[in-house]
Structure 1
């Protein structure tokens, strides 16, 4: 998966957490990074599902996991998983000391019951 339409390896991520959850004071389970514009959003298991919402509003279908140690890509438009792809601009994950779910000070005690399945 190199030289793919919809991936800009030069674009830095929008931040270290879900852009919309950070603005609203929410929390997330795992993070996904748009491979085209760098938007960081929360995964579909997260209560708000901002990564999918970003795809639907922007038309950018390719995301990469923004979790430490993970390099896979997902294509929302085709439901295809890619084990690897081009290296994106750093950082390639949220900080290793940032927990999942996170951020730690905003995660409710009953968070497992609030996940989408």
Structure 2
């Protein structure tokens, strides 16, 4: 199965600059896992987290691809095409 155009275009992965969800920190909330936007480096919490800031970031910006910021996880997700890739 071929990757979507957004996942295929990834050349260099943008790592998390900080291991926290700034929106959750500002709200005094916690998160389950973190995701990193590959368009701008925004770090947001996953959909298992109460606030789902990574998905909200996609909805606000249309930045299509995130990667997991979790140690040992090596995958990328394209919101627009609902596609996943391991790297």
TM superposition shift of 1:43:
0.4
Whichever of the two has the greater Rg, that structure is 1
TM-score (ref. length: structure 2): 0.82
Contact 2:16 2:69 in 1 (8 A): no
TM superposition shift of 1:41:
0.3
Structure with the larger strand share: 2
Question: How many residues get paired?
Answer: 82
Gaps of 5+ in 1: 85-117
TM-score (ref. length: structure 1): 0.62
The alignment partner of 2:32 has SS state of coil
TM superposition shift of 1:77:
0.7
Gaps of 5+ in 2: none
Indicate the residue corresponding to 2:38 in structure 1: 35
CA RMSD, aligned part only? 2.1
